[in-house]
Structure 1
Amino acid sequence: MKLKSTALSLAAAIGLSFSASAQTDSLMLRKIFDEALVNGQCYDNLRYLCKKIGPRLSGSAGAQKSVEWSKKLMEGYGFDKVYLQEVMVPHWVRGEKEQGFIVTGNIRTPVALAALGMSVGTPKTGITAEVIELQSLKELETLGEAKIKGKIVFFNRPFDERFVEAGGAYGTAGDQRNAGPGAASKYGAVAVIVRSLTSALDNYPHTGGTSYGTNKPIPAAALSTVAANKLSAMLKQKNAVPVKFFLRTNCETLPDVLSYNVIGEIKGTENTNKYITVGGHLDSWDLAEGAHDDGTGVMQSAEVLRIFKALGYRPKNNVRAVFFMNEENGHKGGIKYAEQALADKEEHIAAIETDEGGFTPRGFSFERATPVFLKGINQQWKQLFEPYEADRLTAGGGGTDIGPLRQTHPNIQLIGFRPDSQRYFDIHHTPNDVFENVNKRELELGAASIASLIYLIDQHGLSF
């Protein structure tokens, strides 16, 4: 009775009115949040993943250790089914620490940089060449081979700070890193350096994947924003000698390696072939511990199932927590999961991805969100999330790992967990992505928000 009065008093305090069904849902959400905040285990689990295992790039020893530990973690919680799903993944290695210098005459100024994932290495002696600064890939076409061949292309378009949601700025700047090296190679560039994808002005370079398409691979690296500003300023000066850049990287791609998605499941009591999936990616870049990207996401996913078991909640539908492998440099885990779900003729109702950090929850975005759907879900569920300040139910993307499900299961609703975005890209893909930069309560609130949405979907479906 005490729990009931607490939940209803929260509703009354903000002027909400509930039907009998909504009151039941409100009480359940209160129980979920209480369990997460009082008895939550995702923060301690994240500590182990980060501090005892650490970086987990696909194909690495760390990735394999994380798979083995994650399976034992889920088995220890007594989920109804825990298993590994085989997937072949790329095995890229950074090798010896990269070097970069701005070269003017006999002066070599060192700068902070990191090779991009899937980049090829330079010759052992490195590459020295004149630098041409560009703001967009379109400029490559405008300038053509005559002005680009033999040079190092420097993409230096910063984040567009007008975006309130930081992911928008990341999206509009990301083509420089994702496609820039391949595009520059087409015009004869010998290497590419890219401004790190962040609003932060610091000396931490951000790595991340790149793809060459059908073009010849050339070495590619990201400069810290401090280094990018310095190089840009020097290029704008009227120097008697040209500004050159020295780059040496030692990365290479080895043969593919067998790895695994790690899957835990609570079986449904009514709909034995219907599934609700929640997941993040277990792999991380090699520069740090992969705390926010995406240790928080996988630990929140396991926590959802743990919360349901702790509360004695038996879902109507099967609920899965999936730790996807290889989101960072290949997406093989997500592709494999969708293919296997199709082969097994599983009916997937919804999939939720948590891969935007473990920050304060704000709400969820729905990929298949018509105006009618958005109106209905907000009318019925927004007030349930308002006491927890996670009530933004909007149209938007789901996520990379769950994306392949849209081809194999066209009726599925893909959902993105949306925490506060303002700090994520200060940390994302950098040496700063460590456990110490995760807040315990923010992480727990996120897990509770996701568990609450899954409970509501399980009880009521997504027909609005």
Structure 2
Amino acid sequence: MRKSILCVALFLNGIILFAQTNEEQTLKEIYKSSLTNAKCYPWLDHLSNKIGSRLSGSIGAEKAVLYTKAQLETLGLDRVYLQEVMVPKWVRGEKETAYIVDNRTKINVPICALGGSVATSKNGLTAEVIEVRSIKELTDLGVAKIKGKIVFFNRPMEDAQIESFNAYGGAGDQRYAGAKEASKFGAVGTIVRSLNLRLDDLPHTGAQSYGDIPKSQYIPAAAISTNGAELLSKTLKSNPNLKFYFKQSCKQFDDVLSYNVIGEIKGSEHPENIMVVGGHLDSWDLADGSHDDGAGVVQSMEVVNIFKNLGYKPKNTLRVVLFMNEENGLRGGLKYEELAQANKENHIFALESDSGGFSPRGFSLEADDANFNKIQSWKNLFEPYLIHSFTKGHSGSDIGPLTSKTIVKAGLKPDSQRYFDYHHAANDTFDAINKRELELGAATMASLLYLIDQNGIVNTVKAQ
């Protein structure tokens, strides 16, 4: 009896060892394919340098849809198609101007309109400035001290945060909701310190929202560079009565038709189970959006290119989804989920890359304990590639709306220390991309998808 038990144990250990050996070898082949035979870097070169910025509703966004669809079609997938989605169309207009008026001296400072903002008058806006560090301060100051003034939100991203996305999240409310809240106290405009960890002269744009306040209460909102914010704050201390001038001519138009771009490989064993890998095709308009999120787009496309090069046929259906309108609406992600629900689709896994094309470090996972522990058990397979961080946390905005009875979501985590130097700014261009780092990220994504496909997920049903 004991001998039989021992034989069974040795047999099972042999199976496990064989599986691990096969997985190690496959990961080696995945990384080799990405580092020697990848298309993601030239794809991004075209997307960035031949097409350029891709704000939702723009000509650049239209061209990007057609280009990425055509490239996916060259990979011999089972299906490539477009998914209709209505998106907002906001146009920046002519370049913004701003200066500090200090004792009749004009000091120019760099600004840019925040996405979704209204314009100033044609002659611009001039008013006194009141500096605050938080939205809560508006209540403390009250209408008497704010009415008729420009509110200057000057809370920096927190330097002490090791995880730069935590620093970003801690400062983001002033950009997104600052104008809405300041308007309630009679402010005539808002200037927001750029969300950037370094001091430079580049204003960083991003989405802002007026929420449900009446259109008659909309006020213009702009971002000021970190150097400009430091200068304005310093000058205010010596002259609290100084005035600030800025002019912007942005405009919101009616929604327009756009598309998510989808490429699909049908599952060989479980076609009813769907795995998604994706990034967002749109970018802000100040640059070509190579890190945010051109990198995520081409890395997701590279995943299926790697599988095709290796002759790997997924057991589950694999979809590359290039989402439209993450930056100022999330319409693509919401539409994808709406149609997934209507078609009664079962998504078991979703992976997003939307944190830049820097060296991969691991994954941020939205999973129950059973699935998190299962993925973490593969950590040793990733260690040769310097992938070490498997944590619970936000996976991605576009895959955020996805729901199924059981679904695991993951976000690629690259080294984030330099990301906010470029995020939403005019220097988010192709020359900021490192080819090898981009390819390592694609290989890391393909490796996790391969392991999920081979081993499945733990089918725990979420409480309703």
TM-score range, shorter chain: over 0.9
The aligned counterpart of 1:447 is 442
| SS state at 2:181 partner | helix
The aligned counterpart of 2:229 is 228
Residue 390 of structure 1 is aligned with which of 387, 391, 402?
387
Describe the superposition over 1:83-110 as per-residue Cα deviations: whole angstroms up to 9, x where unpaired: 0000000000000111111012321111
Report the Cα offset of residue 374 of structure 1: 3.5
| SS state at 1:19 partner | helix
The aligned counterpart of 2:12 is none
Distance 2:267 2:373 in 1: 29
The aligned counterpart of 1:315 is 314
The aligned counterpart of 2:150 is 152
Distance 2:63 2:373 in 1: 45
| SS state at 1:62 partner | helix
Q: Pairwise CA RMSD of aligned residues?
A: 1.1
- Whether the 8 Å contact between 2:371 and 2:408 is mirrored in structure 1 is no
Distance 2:296 2:371 in 1: 26
TM-score (normalizing by structure 1) = 0.93
- Whether the 8 Å contact between 1:302 and 1:321 is mirrored in structure 2 is yes
| SS state at 1:405 partner | coil
Distance 1:316 1:458 in 2: 6
Report the Cα offset of residue 373 of structure 1: 4.0
Distance 1:411 1:183 in 2: 38
Distance 1:57 1:207 in 2: 12
The aligned counterpart of 1:81 is 79
Report the Cα offset of residue 367 of structure 1: 1.2
- Whether the 8 Å contact between 2:56 and 2:325 is mirrored in structure 1 is yes
Distance 2:447 2:137 in 1: 48
Q: Which amino acid aligns with 2:344?
A: K
| SS state at 2:89 partner | strand
- Whether the 8 Å contact between 1:291 and 1:435 is mirrored in structure 2 is yes
- Whether the 8 Å contact between 1:327 and 1:334 is mirrored in structure 2 is yes
Distance 1:307 1:183 in 2: 48
Distance 2:398 2:247 in 1: 33
The aligned counterpart of 1:255 is 254
| SS state at 1:385 partner | helix
TM-score (normalizing by structure 2) = 0.93
| SS state at 2:35 partner | helix
Distance 1:78 1:89 in 2: 29
The aligned counterpart of 1:186 is 184
Report the Cα offset of residue 347 of structure 1: 0.4
Distance 1:373 1:274 in 2: 16
Describe the superposition over 1:265-299 as per-residue Cα deviations: whole angstroms up to 9, x where unpaired: 11100111110001000000000011000000000
Aligned residue pairs, count:
441
Distance 2:159 2:406 in 1: 36
The correspondence of residues 59-78 of structure 1 with structure 2, limited to 5 A, is 59-78=57-76
Describe the superposition over 1:194-236 as per-residue Cα deviations: whole angstroms up to 9, x where unpaired: 0000111100000000011112321000000000000000011
Distance 1:376 1:340 in 2: 30
| SS state at 2:378 partner | helix
Report the Cα offset of residue 463 of structure 1: 2.1
The aligned counterpart of 2:292 is 293
Does 2:431 match 1:436?
yes
The aligned counterpart of 2:44 is 46
Report the Cα offset of residue 79 of structure 1: 1.2
The aligned counterpart of 1:4 is none
- Whether the 8 Å contact between 1:369 and 1:395 is mirrored in structure 2 is no
Distance 1:410 1:356 in 2: 27
The aligned counterpart of 1:8 is none
| SS state at 1:230 partner | helix
Distance 1:385 1:72 in 2: 33
Q: Which amino acid aligns with 1:221?
A: A
Distance 1:78 1:35 in 2: 17
Identity %: 57
- Whether the 8 Å contact between 1:46 and 1:296 is mirrored in structure 2 is yes
Distance 2:166 2:200 in 1: 21
Describe the superposition over 1:340-394 as per-residue Cα deviations: whole angstroms up to 9, x where unpaired: 1111111000111100000000000111243x5444432x300000001113111
What stretches of structure 2 of length at least 5 have no aligned partner? Answer: 1-15, 460-464
